[in-house]
């Protein structure tokens, strides 16, 4: 049974976003209980690459959140042990002159917004990535992009929150919200009711189902992606390397399959190859066709990978919103309920800032970022 | 005449249907790979293709599981150092 005494805040979801919310709230002295129907990092968090990216974001609210998060992640990496924080940087490459022009224009706008973005001439690409295809048109280097091991990051944040008194209840499913009129006053779970002053919905691709328990519509849909994993290699890929058309694929509203190569090495040796996007619900079927396309796109960037074995593949589901922005903050339609969800493929990167903004909201402080672009009622 | 494959150039006999790993153990060879991080010796662990501990180079292909790879006449089998892809280091 869950302890019957009320918590200040219940966080639904033990992924990296819920973990970051719990950690920020616990540090501000609140009693926090995190509930998840599965294990820590059992959803999107555990199926991604742990990217902390600014390179793939156009100037706007998401980039501002990413910049805030990047700063906060640096502090978290200093404070928490072994989350495998690696400021590896990204190299975005273009394979044609028009693609390069578009990439350089994007980079110029990003620089105006405070992002470090250095153009790299075609002849200089090999200095960054010696194995890169030799016929590319050029690229842009983003030194601030970083990575954490996402499952470790979620686990360490939760462990640090528990050191501050937070409770973690895995394998406890929320079946309803406790309400007093419109106000949310806790959660109903299969292990009993848990009353709280506030409830944070960090349920990832299932956040819409949690919202519906309060009679609220939150259009969050799963967007499937596969990652292909090679056998362990020496460091053949130094940065996160991706094609300039990746940003267009991310920003697309198309439900059909899109593939855009994203290639990066890992500390353990395997190279990770993404990315694919398709809206097919929570269908977990492995698609050999998608894997084949991922492999071909990666070989286009790094021909050396043609002679390397892929040893496995995995898939995950990004929590997609129709305008590609996360949902962060109190829901005016249901006092006591806050949302921290809908981060699509950027949830690890954006988690640190999201947790910070949620903690500010719970305390009624003015948030460091304008939350209006992220407001939950914008879809109504 | 006994069928053999070569381990680092030295002939190793095998019986029809035997795996490379089984033939190596029968020949008294217990370790043929060094680990990526610590350079520690590795050979057969699970013996059924699940653990990927017994990796070896076969005809130039690294990361082949010795325990399930059938031995064949004249195969060029070599011990594997680390990930077996040192040639890709830059």
The answer to whether position A85 is within a domain reads no
Q: What is the pLDDT of residue A198?
A: 97
Measured in Å, how far apart are chain A's first and last C-alpha atoms? 37
Which of A129, A130, A131, A232 best probes binding to B when mutated, by most B CB atoms within 10 angstroms? A232
Q: What is the pLDDT of residue A213?
A: 97
Domain count of chain A? 2
Which of A170, A162, A197, A176 has the alpha carbon at shortest distance from A338? A197
**Taking every pair of C-alpha atoms in chain B, what is the biggest distance, in angstroms?**
45
CB contact under 8 A, B83 and A130: no
User: Searching chain A, which residue's CA lies closest to the CA of residue B37?
Assistant: A268
Tokens 């970083």 -> residue: A146
Instruction: Indicate if the pLDDT at residue A108 is higher than 60.
Output: yes
Domain boundary among A302, A320, A338: A320
CB contact under 8 A, A232 and B83: yes
The answer to whether position A77 is within a domain reads no
CB contact under 8 A, A308 and B86: no
**Burial of residue B48, with CB atoms counted within 10 A of its CB: 0-12 exposed, 13-18 middle, 19 or more buried:** exposed
List residues of B whose CB lies inside 8 A of any A CB: 36, 62-63, 83, 85-86, 88-90
Weakest mean pLDDT among A40-49, A170-179, A244-253, B70-79 = A244-253
Domain extent for A102: 90-143+221-320
Say which of B62, B63, B88 has its CB closest to residue A236: B88
CB contact under 8 A, B85 and A131: no
Which of A125, A127, A231, A303 best probes binding to B when mutated, by most B CB atoms within 10 angstroms? A231
User: Searching chain A, which residue's CA lies closest to the CA of residue B64?
Assistant: A309
Tokens 């071909």 -> residue: A296
CB contacts of A134 in chain B (<8 Å) are: none
If pLDDT is split at 50, 70 and 90, which confidence band does A249 have? confident
Compute the distance between CA of residue A107 and CA of residue A55 in angstroms, rounded to an integer: 8
Weakest mean pLDDT among A34-48, A202-216, A239-253 = A239-253
Co-location of A54 and A129 in the same domain: no
The answer to whether position A1 is within a domain reads no
The answer to whether position A329 is within a domain reads yes
Say which of A130, A234, A311 has its CB closest to residue B85: A234
Co-location of A132 and A154 in the same domain: no
Domain boundary among A303, A320, A337: A320
CB contacts of B86 in chain A (<8 Å) are: 234
Average pLDDT over residues A342-350: 97
If pLDDT is split at 50, 70 and 90, which confidence band does A195 have? very high
The string of pLDDT tens digits covering residues A262-276 is: 999 988 899 999 999
Co-location of A21 and A157 in the same domain: yes
Co-location of A154 and A137 in the same domain: no
ipTM score above 0.90: no
CATH number where A275 lies = 3.30.9.10
Weakest mean pLDDT among A202-211, A218-227, A266-275, B22-31 = A266-275
Co-location of A225 and A215 in the same domain: no
Q: Edge-to-edge strand order for the sheet containing B41-42?
A: B41-42, B33-34, B80-81
Average pLDDT over residues A79-100: 93
If pLDDT is split at 50, 70 and 90, which confidence band does A200 have? very high
Q: Which helix (H) or strand (E) holds A94?
A: strand A90-94
The string of pLDDT tens digits covering residues A48-70 is: 999 999 999 999 999 999 999 99
CATH number where A165 lies = 3.50.50.60
Co-location of A240 and A311 in the same domain: yes
Mean pLDDT by 10 residues, chain B (90 residues): 92 97 97 94 96 95 96 97 90
Alpha-carbon distance B82 to nearest alpha carbon in chain A (angstroms)? 9
Find the radius of gyration of the CA atoms of chain A: 21
If pLDDT is split at 50, 70 and 90, which confidence band does A256 have? confident
Co-location of A110 and A249 in the same domain: yes
Compute the distance between CA of residue B23 and CA of residue B5 in angstroms, rounded to an integer: 9
Residues 6+ apart with CB under 8 A from A342: A207, A218, A220, A319, A320, A321, A325, A326, A327
Q: What is the pLDDT of residue A1?
A: 44
Domain boundary among A279, A299, A320: A320
Q: Which domains are delineated in chain B?
A: 4-82 (3.10.20.440)
Co-location of A327 and A237 in the same domain: no
Co-location of A197 and A304 in the same domain: no
- Judge whether A15 and A347 are in contact, CB under 8 Å: yes
Say which of B62, B83, B86 has its CB closest to residue A269: B83
Residue positions counted in chain A: 380
CB contact under 8 A, B63 and A231: yes
Co-location of A161 and A215 in the same domain: yes
| A89: its two tokens | 């940087």
- Judge whether B44 and B36 are in contact, CB under 8 Å: no
């Amino acid at each position: 049974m869950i302890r019957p005494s009320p918590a200040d805040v219940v966080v639904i979801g033990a992924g990296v976003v819920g973990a970051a919310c719990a950690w920020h709230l616990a540090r501000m002295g609140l009693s926090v209980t995190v509930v998840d129907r599965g294990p820590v990092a059992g959803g999107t968090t555990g199926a991604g690459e742990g990217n902390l990216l600014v390179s793939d974001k156009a100037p706007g609210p998401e980039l501002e959140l990413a910049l805030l998060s990047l700063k906060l992640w640096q502090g978290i990496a200093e404070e928490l042990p072994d989350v495998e924080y690696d400021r590896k940087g990204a190299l975005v490459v273009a394979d044609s002159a028009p693609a390069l022009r578009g990439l350089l224009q994007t980079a110029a706008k990003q620089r105006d917004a405070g992002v470090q973005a250095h153009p790299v001439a075609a002849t200089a690409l090999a200095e960054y990535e010696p194995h890169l295809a030799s016929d590319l048109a050029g690229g842009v280097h983003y030194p601030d992009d970083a990575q954490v091991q996402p499952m470790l990051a979620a686990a360490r944040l939760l462990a640090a929150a528990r050191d501050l008194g937070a409770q973690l209840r895995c394998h406890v499913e929320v079946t309803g919200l406790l309400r007093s009129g419109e106000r949310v006053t806790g959660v109903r779970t299969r292990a009993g009711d848990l009353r709280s002053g506030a409830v944070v919905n960090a349920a990832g691709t299932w956040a819409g189902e949690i919202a519906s328990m309060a009679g609220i519509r939150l259009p969050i849909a799963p967007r499937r992606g596969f990652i292909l994993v090679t056998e362990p290699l020496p460091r053949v890929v130094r940065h996160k390397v991706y094609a300039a058309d990746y940003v267009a694929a991310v920003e697309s509203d198309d439900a059909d399959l899109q593939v855009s190569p994203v290639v990066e090495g890992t500390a353990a040796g395997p190279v990770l190859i993404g990315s694919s996007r398709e809206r097919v619900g929570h269908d977990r079927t492995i698609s050999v066709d998608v894997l084949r396309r991922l492999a071909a796109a990666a070989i286009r960037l790094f021909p050396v990978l043609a002679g390397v074995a892929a040893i496995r593949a995995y898939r995950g589901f990004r929590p997609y919103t129709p305008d590609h922005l996360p949902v962060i903050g109190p829901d005016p339609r249901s006092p006591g309920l806050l949302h921290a969800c809908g981060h699509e493929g950027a949830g690890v990167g954006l988690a640190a800032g999201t947790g910070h903004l949620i903690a500010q909201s719970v305390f009624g402080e003015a948030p460091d970022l304008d939350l209006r672009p992220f407001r939950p009622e914008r879809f109504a | 005449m006994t069928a053999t494959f070569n381990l680092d150039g030295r002939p190793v006999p095998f019986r029809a249907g035997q795996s490379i790993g089984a033939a190596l153990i029968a020949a008294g060879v217990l370790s043929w790979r060094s680990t990526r991080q610590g350079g520690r010796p590795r050979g057969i662990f699970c013996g059924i293709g699940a653990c990927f501990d017994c990796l070896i180079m076969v005809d130039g292909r690294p990361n082949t599981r010795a325990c399930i790879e059938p031995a064949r006449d004249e195969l060029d089998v070599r011990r594997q150092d680390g990930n077996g892809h040192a040639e890709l280091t830059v």
